[in-house]
Amino acid sequence: MLKQVVLAMLVAGSIAEAQDRSQSRSMVVSQTGVVASESVLASQVGARILEQGGNAIDAAIATNAMMGLVAPMNDGIGGDLFAIVYEAKTGKLYGLNASGWAPKGLSADYLIAKGMTTMPMKDIHTVTVPGAVDGWDKLLKRFGRMGFREVLAPAITYADSGFPVGEVVSAYWRDSEAALRADGPTAKTFLPNGRLPLAGEVFRNPELAWSYRQLAQFGRSAFYKGDIARKILATSASHGGTMDGPDLFEFQSEWVDPISTTYHGWTVYELPPNGQGIAALEMLNIMENFPLGTMGQNSVKALHVMIEAKKLAYADMQRYDADPRFTTVPVNGLKSKAFGKGRAQLISLERANCTVAAGAPSVTDNGTTYLSVVDSEGNMVSLIQSNYSTVGFGSGIAVGGAGFVLHNRGGGFTLDKTSPNVLAGRKRPLHTIIPAFMEKGDVRIAFGIMGGWNQAQAHAQFVSNVVDFGLNPQGALDAPRFSKETFGGCDVNFESRISESTRAALAAQGHSIVMRGDYSSTRMGAGQAVMRDYSTKVNSGASDPRKDGAAVSALRKP
């Protein structure tokens, strides 16, 4: 019975809904694999890897490599990576934290001595060791069927021959022009002929093709010990950075166990700190204390509860979340149902709270792209990878001759020595990027929504859209969203598709609403999702209309 109910809710819909609906497009439904990413071209590359005999892990990395080419401001091998893998043959979930650490010589004291009072956001000292390549290596070696040579081949071809720049990507490129012109090697790579590439114009990146060839020939060692490493260190030194050889070649990403909570019968998984996934779980636990399903989607009552739940969960995340190798993070306390219920009791249904303090959980335990893939065997990947700041291409510093920029993930640290997230050598910063996964019965969904501090709150909204309001993954991605970018105050971003009467009622409750466009990728992020019914072996994929991407199905093997 569960299978029929879930399929009716997520896939079928009524004839009337199909003819008169609010979602932007149908899901891609297939008996073969499906790849969902922010670029049609990247999704096609991943689907082709599946057709060539690769599995979901191989396809995810090939897709990610293409994203580093076609959306270089969002992601690339100069950034970090997190992934959740569902392995069909064992029925187990695996988590990978491939976020890099700060150079050993970098600390709060070091920057304070230079006269800094807050952590910079655009500076060589925001550059932590990029973890993406080590993440690719660990994923391929543990789960893949292919190696770097096979999965990077399509991206190498396109980097050499070029690709037409996407519409949304071109807008991000334009917004970053000043940062790109500020650094010679960066301008050389990303402002060909001294100007911005326009939407539809063919862009080539032979330097990135060289880097990918190095990886194809020498593997991860090319990046952390070889010629790419030497270019990274030379670039860092030229800007006065502290990164040295051991910072690179001693780095290893980490296998972690996903953490979870339940939400009205569904189990929702995130990765543990140093990411913000714990905030999504706490937010869901708070929301579960209210009958959102009877309040109505995007109603005054439902939106008010979710916005207030966000404030509470994020206050706790900001207070406690950090690298668990350096501090005790009360993960079990933060994601407990009892703690969520207690925090929910602080929500007034009549008024917005503009000053939210962190709670005291029980201490009982020690710019970005998102893509998801499911293959015909049922392996699933939820993968997110980022340069951090989309505008400005991460740190705004390209590695000379290598075709990619270095991220500014160190901007997630603080110089406040009382914070568990204070900058220290070989420490990982509080991270925004988070992959997610949810399951009930025979149905599993790998999903994620990028966009800085938007992500945990967007995950909770996606889950609510599926569970409380019966939307399929495409409808859940399409639905209007809110996003509160700040931690304090009552300001909140709304997409303009939320009705004027609803906005007026929420403003009367004390919410300070900032209006955005109908589909605001900058403020609300953009996501992808793949779903599989393991009883029928049917796969589905969804792609957010806020970006250039698509879900693409692999062709059946001949």
Task: Tell me the catalytic residues.
Answer: 368
**DSSP secondary structure letter of residue 428:** P
531 near 445, Cβ under 8 Å? yes
Q: Measure the CA–CA gap between 211 and 227, rounded to whole angstroms.
A: 9
Collapsing DSSP states into helix, strand and coil, what is residue 88? Answer: coil
Are residues 293 and 468 in contact, defined by beta-carbon separation less than 8 angstroms? yes
**Alpha-carbon gap, residue 333 to 164, rounded angstroms:** 49
Strand-pairing partners, residue 123, are: none
Residue 453 DSSP label: G
Count the neighbouring beta carbons within 10 Å of the beta carbon of residue 555: 12
- Which residues are CB-neighbours of 390 under 8 A, at least 6 positions away? 73, 74, 172, 176, 367, 368, 522
Are the CB atoms for 284 and 268 separated by under 8 Å?
yes
User: Which distant-in-sequence residues (6+ apart) come within 8 Å of 251 by Cβ?
Assistant: 100, 101, 129, 131, 134, 224
Q: Which of 410, 413, 433, 431 is nearest to 421 (CA)?
A: 413
**Backbone phi, then psi, for 29, in 5-degree steps?**
-120, 130
